[in-house]
């Protein structure tokens, strides 16, 4: 039987309706990108999810190796303390930014209103004008985060991504892609016994032919 799969691509919009570059990931803020009303297809599970941030470069070479961009997966982006709507419908979701005035502390790791999982921390060792411009690609399958993502989505049909830059990271936009496939159905060992029966029958027939 041919495998069936579905793919969902999420791309944010800025306030002018154009493809967003995460507000240049200015270090004066930390950010969430939240989604609500998203359900996985019936009978399917997540087989891959990929977060891509295009053409990333720290703004100043003077900060090479002294900067970082921390990325998180969130169970929800809805903050019960701010009185605002922090999640939007797919595929755009909703971007939110919070003032960062803590001199480099991790703003997301200690949130008390959502479960979270660390995706990665990126450090730019060759930033500034003329520095390297890289595209960050994170496979949740390789990172072992597919089960966490699926659990977060099934817990309320929502989830979020968190971005905490320490320094200013230019970028050309972010995308998040989820690929689903049919959930394996256990056969209770029937396939094994059919194979055993088939091999045994073939061997018996062979011996009969040589008799």
Tens of pLDDT, residues 100-127: 876 678 999 999 999 999 999 999 999 9
pLDDT greater at residue 183 or residue 206: 183
Which are the contacts of 162, defined by CB distance < 8 A and separation ≥ 6? 30, 31, 32, 33, 70, 71, 72, 73, 74, 77, 108, 116
Per-residue pLDDT band for 185 (boundaries 50, 70, 90) equals low
> What's the number of domains the chain is made of?
1
Which are the contacts of 49, defined by CB distance < 8 A and separation ≥ 6? 139, 140, 141, 145, 146, 149, 176, 177, 178, 179
Residue-level pLDDT at 24 = 87
Mean predicted confidence (pLDDT) in 136-163? 98
Q: What's 129's domain CATH number? A: 2.60.120
CB of 93 closer than 8 Å to CB of 10:
yes
Q: Say yes or no to pLDDT of 205 above 90.
A: no
From the number of C-beta atoms within 10 Å of its C-beta (0-12, 13-18, 19+), residue 192 rates as exposed
Residue-level pLDDT at 15 = 54
How many Cβ atoms from other residues are within 10 Å of residue 51's Cβ?
23
CB of 59 closer than 8 Å to CB of 128:
yes
Which residues constitute the domain of residue 112? 5-210
How far apart, in whole angstroms, are the C-alpha atoms of residue 172 and residue 57? 10
Q: Say yes or no to pLDDT of 200 above 70.
A: no
Taking the alpha carbons at both ends of the chain, their separation in whole angstroms is 39
Residue-level pLDDT at 194 = 46
How far apart, in whole angstroms, are the C-alpha atoms of residue 188 and residue 192? 9
Per-residue pLDDT band for 203 (boundaries 50, 70, 90) equals very low
Phi/psi of residue 117, nearest 5 degrees: -140, 135
Residue-wise pLDDT for 31-47, tens only, equals 999 999 999 999 999 99
């Amino acid at each position: 039987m041919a495998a069936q799969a579905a793919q969902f691509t999420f791309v944010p919009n800025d306030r002018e309706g154009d493809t967003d570059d995460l507000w240049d990931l200015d270090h004066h803020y930390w950010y969430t990108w939240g989604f609500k009303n998203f359900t996985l297809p019936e009978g399917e599970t997540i087989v891959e999810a990929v977060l891509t941030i295009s053409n990333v470069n720290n703004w100043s070479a003077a900060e090479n190796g002294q900067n970082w961009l921390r990325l998180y997966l969130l169970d929800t982006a809805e903050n019960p303390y701010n009185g605002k709507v922090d999640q939007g419908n797919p595929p755009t979701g909703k971007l939110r930014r919070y003032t960062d005035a803590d001199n480099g502390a991790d703003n997301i790791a200690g949130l008390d209103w959502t479960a979270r999982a660390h995706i990665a921390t990126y450090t730019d060792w060759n930033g500034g004008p003329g520095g390297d411009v890289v595209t960050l690609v994170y496979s949740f399958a390789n990172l072992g985060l597919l089960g966490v993502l699926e659990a977060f989505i099934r817990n309320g049909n929502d989830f979020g991504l968190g971005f905490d830059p320490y320094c200013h990271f230019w970028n050309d936009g972010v995308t998040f892609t989820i690929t689903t496939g049919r959930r394996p159905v256990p056969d209770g060992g029937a396939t094994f016994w059919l194979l055993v029966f088939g091999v045994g029958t073939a061997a018996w027939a062979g011996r009969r032919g040589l008799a």
